[in-house]
Amino acid sequence: MSKLLDNIKEPNDLKKLDLKQLNMLADEIREFLITSVSKTGGHLASNLGVVELTIALHWVFSSPEDRIIWDVGHQSYVHKILTGRKEQFATLRQYGGLSGFPKSHESQHDVFNTGHSSTSISAALGIARARDLKNENYSVIAVIGDGALTGGMAFEALNDAGRSSNNLIVILNDNEMSINKNVGGLSKYLTRIRTEPVYFKVKEDIDLFLNRIPAIGKSMARTVQKAKGSIKYMIMPGTLFEELGFTYIGPIDGHNIEQLTGVLNRAKKMKGPILIHVYTVKGKGYSFAEEEPDIFHGVSSFNVETGKALDKTGIKDYSGVFGDCINELAEKDESIVAITAAMPVGTGLNKMLLNYPNRVFDVGIAEQHAVTLAAALAISGLKPVVAIYSSFLQRAYDQILHDVAMQNLHVVFAIDRAGVVGQDGETHQGIFDLSYLGHIPNLAILAPSCYSELRQMLNYAVLRHNGPIAVRYPKGSETFTLPEGTPEFELGKGVILKEGKDITLVAAGKMVPIAMEAAEKVRNLNIDAEVIDVRSIKPLDINLIISSGMKTGRIITLEDNILAGGMGNSILRLLNEKKANHIKVYLKGFPDEFIPQGSVSELFKVYGLDSDSIVKDIIKTVND
């Protein structure tokens, strides 16, 4: 007997199935997801939690005519399976393969590209307003998680949508999780609704009873509207979504397809903005993911039977070294505090959170708030360390510039996942931080080439620096250790790791070990390359660079950042200011484009930043 899933090639195929078959399909999708993601890695727990919800959405609505927008997109795998992409899942998150996020170039069913949180309601409202201005007729649905709802942008959109008359459905997928356990007042509020849904039950009962009274029922229902409002305030004060202007429906069991389809069909016929509150279990149907949804939020390949990762575990990475170091510093200095935006484990702050819970602030998915909070802590005499991924910190650009740098406050930005990160693709590559931070006055920027430099830089940044400072470091483990006798870190000072006379390689952070590897390879070709570890990207040790460039006559700059506005451009500008622009300078970094998904090593080869590609550049440059 063939599986139901084999016959689903497009969403319309779902409409041929009855309720019993839809539930059977849900089981098949879970089995497929677990098996497939165990081989490729990916976002598993969030997708297991929305299987029934996604089936119900595509059963009730007609994509792509009706527009479904997935916030973040971590939970879009089921949507992709139901929209004809099941056979591509073996290529998930691989170079040239299926993206882990909604991508409009992949399918007409992916309405809006996502990857960062809290954008779906704004996008849905914009599409709904465009629909109404063009006198078109279709449904618009935004699916947003309770974690993403902590982002300020989501509330800006709710505020705007609630006062509009546009027909719009917002589905709040409430699983009490973002990547880690949700925090804050909103989480407590949603928990209260889930555990005390008394008012909403009373409200529905009144509606049902009154509307069944012949002739006068509907009129009476309108008459007692104010009475229902009074009941609301007596039983459950602070009904936030209704006060914002939404018709609230819920809470609904997100794993009950019959209940979901009934509610969605009702909402489809209603006018104005509707908010449907659905509660789900993250990792539903796979015991390991249910027990540890944070671990199974994003996973590498794993053994389905044991839930254990297949790759090496227990190896220290940059995030772990940062976490150990900041915990050690916090033990010695009580003025040190740390801030994270819903990622205490991902950033390595979990150890400090365990040991000093009152000095670690998880603000939820709210990067702007995190930075201004840090500014206020700094101005009050504390030493705040803000640990955020590079691609997420860009969401707080104005707060860095206006609230921290303009006041010249001592805030330390621990920028994790700097450079390309691989399989999450364009939305998560950390290749812009040097460009969006480098032109901000007062802000210093450091880049370690190994764990030892990271520790030295954190000690300096937290304990000795005066003013804002950023330490950017890559995802993964170190691939290099400093030569014996290398000087300790000093702000504004680079260091020559290898002497040479034919060409100078000026490298930052992750590019330092690659530069050393390339220099060793060209030595066998009788080319003597000098390697400078800049360490301090801002301020740069321009005198050291000029001195080396004068000796070799040629410089290649190496950075894992986009070239526009990056370290290489800063070096060119400073050489011009120092009247040293006769030195030939060649810039190596990422081009003016968004970098797709793929393994880090693969992307480095594609973009000519691996050691073999740099060897070719060295040979060409020396022979010019």
* Contact status, residue 613 vs residue 558, Cβ threshold 8 Å: no
Taking the C-alpha atoms of residue 59 and residue 507, their distance in angstroms, rounded to an integer, is 54
* Contact status, residue 588 vs residue 568, Cβ threshold 8 Å: yes
Taking the C-alpha atoms of residue 291 and residue 544, their distance in angstroms, rounded to an integer, is 54
Report the candidate in 115, 116, 143 with the shortest Cα–Cα distance to residue 49: 143
Taking the C-alpha atoms of residue 440 and residue 148, their distance in angstroms, rounded to an integer, is 29
Helix, coil or strand: residue 42: strand
Residues sharing a CB contact under 8 Å with residue 404, sequence separation 6 or more, in sequence order: 371, 374, 375, 378, 411, 443, 468
**Cα 29 versus chain centre, distance:** 25
Helix, coil or strand: residue 189: helix
Q: List Cα–Cα distances, 129 to 53, 137, 421, 537, in angstroms.
A: 25, 11, 36, 46
* Contact status, residue 442 vs residue 435, Cβ threshold 8 Å: no
Helix, coil or strand: residue 288: helix
Report the 10 Å Cβ neighbour count for 95.
Answer: 16
Report the 10 Å Cβ neighbour count for 204.
Answer: 12
Q: Which position has the token pair 């330490």? A: 471
Taking the C-alpha atoms of residue 515 and residue 505, their distance in angstroms, rounded to an integer, is 7
Q: List Cα–Cα distances, 295 to 300, 309, 472, 540, in angstroms.
A: 10, 10, 24, 39
Phi-psi region of 448 (alpha: psi -120 to 50; beta: other; left: phi over 0): beta
Taking the C-alpha atoms of residue 377 and residue 373, their distance in angstroms, rounded to an integer, is 6
Report the candidate in 186, 117, 595 with the shortest Cα–Cα distance to residue 392: 117
Half-sphere exposure of 392 (CA within 13 A, CB side): 30
* Contact status, residue 349 vs residue 340, Cβ threshold 8 Å: yes
Query: Could you give the residue numbers annotated as active site?
Result: 282, 367, 395
Report the candidate in 117, 246, 88, 116 with the shortest Cα–Cα distance to residue 170: 246
- SS percent in the chain: helix, strand, coil, step 5: 45, 15, 40
* Contact status, residue 180 vs residue 345, Cβ threshold 8 Å: yes
Number of H helices, E strands in the chain: 25, 17
Taking the C-alpha atoms of residue 298 and residue 46, their distance in angstroms, rounded to an integer, is 9
For residue 58, the one-letter residue type is H
Q: Provide the 8-state DSSP code for 305.
A: T
Sequence length of the chain is 624
* Contact status, residue 598 vs residue 422, Cβ threshold 8 Å: yes
* Contact status, residue 18 vs residue 256, Cβ threshold 8 Å: no
Residue 236: both structure tokens together: 């459950």
* Contact status, residue 413 vs residue 430, Cβ threshold 8 Å: no
